[in-house]
Structure 1
């Protein structure tokens, strides 16, 4: 689908210079002299490189629609993560690096959304929040009454997160998988 250069929004996937790019940031610039343009920060979906590009309103770019499929996480095997298509039961193996540091939040049976372009995986979206147990939390320091006195804690997946002082080892908390931050205590 063709769109004008000034219609590119963050999150859009476009075909540019023979590759697939995701728009990370966009800024619309109206210089005193000359025509307006969109300054777009792009990230290559195939190799991860970044590019800053200017698109004029008169230019058109090809917006790509990615197919989104739900996959269930089965298990990790060495550096590979194994997922299963929820409909066809076909298995998909992805490198841990492909998912990145958020791979630590994968749990058995968790449903993730895999974005595909021409049957090739481009991205993986985890649920925004997961529930994990705290295995180690620093003791509360007496006299720390400042409102923002968070303390470090280590969750069952080995990831360190800052939690409020009342959270102790053994408790279950809800964590934001995008920001890797404490959200609230789990019920």
Structure 2
């Protein structure tokens, strides 16, 4: 595995640090008036979700880990375990549902997701950035209410609450951004 300097760490990089796998969430390059510059890195443990703030000077070397990404299709849920199928080899793998976190409701039958592996261990599941959902409950459309920033609450078919523009009515399909958990556009 390649070693990189502490000042080369970027958000999204996976690092091996203190006998664990960490993903860099936020990186700030600090140049104090006195002393050398350093990178203040906020990291999240890929196995247990712990967070850690660490300082890396440019002379510090860290192991950068490359994770293998595979497209896999979601099949079904069984006792808190999600079953995915590799689209090339047709092998099935079971992963805990909490691996998805708050993105879990957006997982739909037959959806293709990206699973990141370190050797044979699955560490992360990424759902598509935009997902089509149906509005099951919202306030009725009020004619003439066209204020630029007026949004109203809506409940989707997966139970998630989002804010939608006033023109979106009940039983309409919308596209939701799964990263920001916000309304994106009409479907």
Q: TM-score range with shorter-chain normalisation?
A: over 0.9
1:162 paired to 2:132: no
1:119 paired to 2:130: no
How big is each residue's C-alpha offset from its partner over 1:39-82, in whole Å with a ceiling of 9 and x where there is no partner? 11111111111111110101111100001011100011231111
Instruction: Give the structure 2 partner of residue 173 of structure 1.
Output: 174
State the secondary structure of the residue aligned to 2:103: helix
Instruction: Give the structure 2 partner of residue 83 of structure 1.
Output: 84
Give 1:134 deviation, angstroms: 1.1
Task: Tell me the number of residue pairs that the alignment of Structure 1 and Structure 2 aligns.
Answer: 186
Structure 1 alignment gaps of length 5 or more: none
Instruction: Give the structure 2 partner of residue 15 of structure 1.
Output: 16
Q: How far apart, in 2, do the equivalents of 1:94 and 1:138 lie?
A: 38
1:44-59 equivalences in 2 (<5 Å)? 44-59=45-60
Instruction: Give the structure 2 partner of residue 6 of structure 1.
Output: 7
Q: Compare 87-96 and 137-146 and name the one that shifted more.
A: 137-146
How big is each residue's C-alpha offset from its partner over 1:104-131, in whole Å with a ceiling of 9 and x where there is no partner? 1111111000000011011011100011
Q: How far apart, in 2, do the equivalents of 1:79 and 1:29 lie?
A: 43
Give 1:145 deviation, angstroms: 4.2
Instruction: Give the structure 1 partner of residue 34 of structure 2.
Output: 33
Q: How far apart, in 2, do the equivalents of 1:121 and 1:17 lie?
A: 20
Instruction: Give the structure 2 partner of residue 103 of structure 1.
Output: 104
Q: How far apart, in 1, do the equivalents of 2:66 and 2:127 lie?
A: 19
Q: How far apart, in 1, do the equivalents of 2:30 and 2:14 lie?
A: 21
Q: How far apart, in 1, do the equivalents of 2:118 and 2:65 lie?
A: 9
TM-score, reference length from structure 1: 0.95
State the secondary structure of the residue aligned to 2:100: helix
CA RMSD across the alignment: 1.3
Instruction: Give the structure 2 partner of residue 92 of structure 1.
Output: 93
Structure 2 alignment gaps of length 5 or more: none
